[in-house]
Amino acid sequence: MNKIKRRNTNQRKIIYEIVKSTNIHPTADWVYERAREKIANISLGTVYRNLKVLVEEGKIIEINDGKVSRFDANTSPHHHFKCEVCSSIYDLPEENLTLNIEPLTNEGFTVNKTFIFLEGVCPSCKGKVN
Ligand SMILES: [Zn+2]
Ligand SMILES: [Zn+2]
């Protein structure tokens, strides 16, 4: 492995560890702030590119919250809930939601994956609104 390649691999490993260390579904900006503490002179572009590679490799998933891309190291099947008040993204276990795909199957669609993205107000913000 040449020097540049090794450096890229190390950077990607650090970026992956940062995403893995949290369950807040961070944005690229958030990951960049943490990465800067560990890798001198890293740019936001480099962080973004590495996140995209990790998505392609299937190590992390990318979710769009309607405004920005957010990243998740939890690649097991699960759904998401976004709080409109605090912008937190919560993981929802797959078994907590049932989706009836039968009508789609009847129309000839083959469903291989389901990602459900819900929006509303989370329990901790519920008391604050109204
Ligand atoms: Zn909230
Ligand atoms: Zn998640």
Query: What CATH fold (topology level) applies to the domain 3-72?
Result: Arc Repressor Mutant, subunit A (1.10.10)
Question: Smallest Cα–Cα separation from 20: which of 72, 79, 65, 76?
Answer: 72
The pLDDT value given to residue 3? 73
Residue 4, C-beta contacts closer than 8 angstroms, at least 6 positions apart: none
Ligand nearest to the CA of 81: 2
Ligand nearest to the CA of 82: 1
Tell me how far the alpha carbon of residue 130 lies from the centroid of ligand 1, in angstroms: 13
Do the beta carbons of residue 83 and residue 120 sit within 8 Å? yes
Ranges of beta strands (E only) in 4-112 are 61-64, 69-72, 78-83, 89-93
Tell me how far the alpha carbon of residue 2 lies from the centroid of ligand 1, in angstroms: 46
Same fold, 3-72 and 78-125: no
* All structural domains of the chain with their residue ranges: 3-72, 78-125
- What would be the CATH architecture of the domain defined by 78-125? 2-Layer Sandwich (3.30)
Tokens of 61: 């998933």
Answer whether residue 1 shows pLDDT above 70: no
Model pLDDT for residues 59-117, shown as the tens digit of each residue: 999 998 888 999 999 998 899 999 999 989 999 988 778 888 899 999 999 988 888 89
Model pLDDT for residues 8-62, shown as the tens digit of each residue: 789 999 999 999 999 899 999 999 999 999 998 999 999 999 999 999 999 999 9
- pTM for the predicted model, two decimal places: 0.81
Distance between CA atoms of 129 and 14, rounded to whole angstroms? 38
Ligand nearest to the CA of 78: 2
